Amino acid sequence: MPDNVNGGGIPANFRAKEPPFRVVKRAELPFKKLVIFYAISILVAAFIGGVFIALNGVNPFAYFKEVFSGCFRSGVAFRGLVRIIVPLLMVSLGVILAFKMKYWNIGAEGQLIMGAVFATWASRSFPGLPTPIMLIVMAAAGIIGGGLWGLITAFFKCRFNTNETLFTLMLNYVAFYIVDYLRNGPWQADPGFPGIGRLAANSRLPQLFRLDISWIVAIALLFFIYVYLNYTKQGYEISVVGDSISTARYAGMNVNRIIRRTMFMSAGICGLAGMLKVSGAVSNYTLDTGIAAGVGFTAISVAWLAKLNPFGVFVVSFLFGVLEKGCSVAESTFHLSAAVTEILQGLILFTILGSDFFIRYKLQRTAGRRKLGEHNN
């Protein structure tokens, strides 16, 4: 064997080719740089979206002006914006409880639906209650309904270590078809038409400033979740379990109990949002298969973009609400397809998630070639 060849038949001076760049973890960036990254990503999304809008024959500057002015030009427009933000904010706050624990609750949509189902059941079962007591009973039923729907997955996770992502996702469809069964079966209002009758007057939320009081509940919940996560023993336990289950067990924590308790709370908040939707004017005071309207899935993106921070959730929910409400106004003004809104939301989400990658990681130039068996320090 030649001297310049090793036992494996590879020349001793052989250098393996490396890619010109490699991905390495970046040190934590200061807040100012984070804002710059996200601002650039939004501008990139706006530019790409503007090109798309221009190709449809509309002035993009006029379109985006209409998007923002359309949310605040009148009291009616602003109230429509609030009705979009409130359920999204509440469900997102519920989701971050589970996500903080690294329990991937993708079932907020179904939990909201089951909260609305249980609240409707309470309204139908106790028709003679006065309004304040009725709403309290409905809220409790909504929390229990959503919470139990989430607790199912927590039980199987703790008992059999099932995949909570798939489990919670599949339960969304089960909840949907439960409502479909009710509207075509035992709760059908009109034998010739699928649908559930409207809730009685004592089951409807009172109004303040021409909005139902769900916005007050959402604000109170925002501060409650912030305090719960940052200043309570239970919030600390969630963080420890999320960081390391082994560490939590070593510290004497009952991990299974923490998972069950937190998942019940997470899903219960989503169920409360369902109760507020079904008893509010936004749903026409009736339970239907479209009661969730995709809020549970959007909340996942909101929670992730907000870095699981409650006040960050408020900001992102507000921006998503402005985008949805404003684009619907711009669509009618410029006679564009409703798909434009979804495209713009997708672009913004894609670019922000892309910027999130570069916030966490950076590309580092490599030497290009290295000797076989040589390792970079």
What's the CATH code of the domain at 347? Answer: 1.10.3470
Average pLDDT of the segment spanning 148-158: 96
Residue 7: the pLDDT is 56
Residues 318-343 have a mean pLDDT of: 83
Question: In the structure encoding, which two tokens stand for residue 99, read together?
Answer: 């996500």
> Would residue 75 count as lying in a domain?
no
Task: Give residue 176's identity as a one-letter amino acid code.
Answer: F
Look at residue 14 in the predicted model and tell me its pLDDT: 52
Q: Examine residue 4 and state whether it is found in any structural domain, yes or no.
A: no
Does 188 reside within a domain?
Answer: yes
Does residue 70 belong to any structural domain of this protein? Answer: no
In a domain, 68, yes or no: no
CA distance 86 to 284: 16
pLDDT of residue 16: 54
Look at residue 9 and tell me if it is in a domain. no
Classified as helix, coil or strand, 195 is strand
pLDDT tens for each residue of 209-243: 889 999 999 999 999 999 999 999 999 999 999 99
- Does residue 230 lie within any of the structural domains? yes
Q: What string of H, E and C letters represents the secondary structure of 76-144?
A: HHHHHHHHHHHHHHHHHHHHHHHHHCCCCCCCHHHHHHHHHHHHHHHHHHCCCCCHHHHHHHHHHHHHH
Query: How far apart are the C-alpha atoms of 91 and 40, rounded to whole Å?
Result: 28
What are the structure tokens assigned to 367, written together?
């030497």
**Which residue range forms the structural domain that includes residue 212?**
83-371
Rounded to 5 degrees, φ, ψ at 17 are: -80, 130
pLDDT-derived band at 53, boundaries 50, 70, 90:
confident
Number of domains within the chain: 1
CB 161 within 8 A of CB 266: no
Q: State residue 377's pLDDT score.
A: 47
Distance set, CA 244 to CA 102, 241, 248 (Å): 10, 5, 6
Question: What digits encode the pLDDT tens for the residues 161-197?
Answer: 999 999 999 999 999 999 999 999 899 888 878 889 8
Burial of 97 (0-12, 13-18, 19+ CB in 10 A): buried
Q: What's the CA dihedral at 88, 89, 91, 96 to 10 degrees?
A: 130
Residue whose C-alpha is closest to residue 165's, from 115, 95, 270, 112: 95
Element housing 15 (H / E)? strand 15-17
Residue 356 backbone class (left: φ over 0; alpha: ψ -120 to 50; beta: rest) = alpha
Determine, yes or no, domain membership for 278: yes
Q: Is the pLDDT of residue 3 over 70?
A: no
What is the reported pLDDT for 49?
Answer: 84
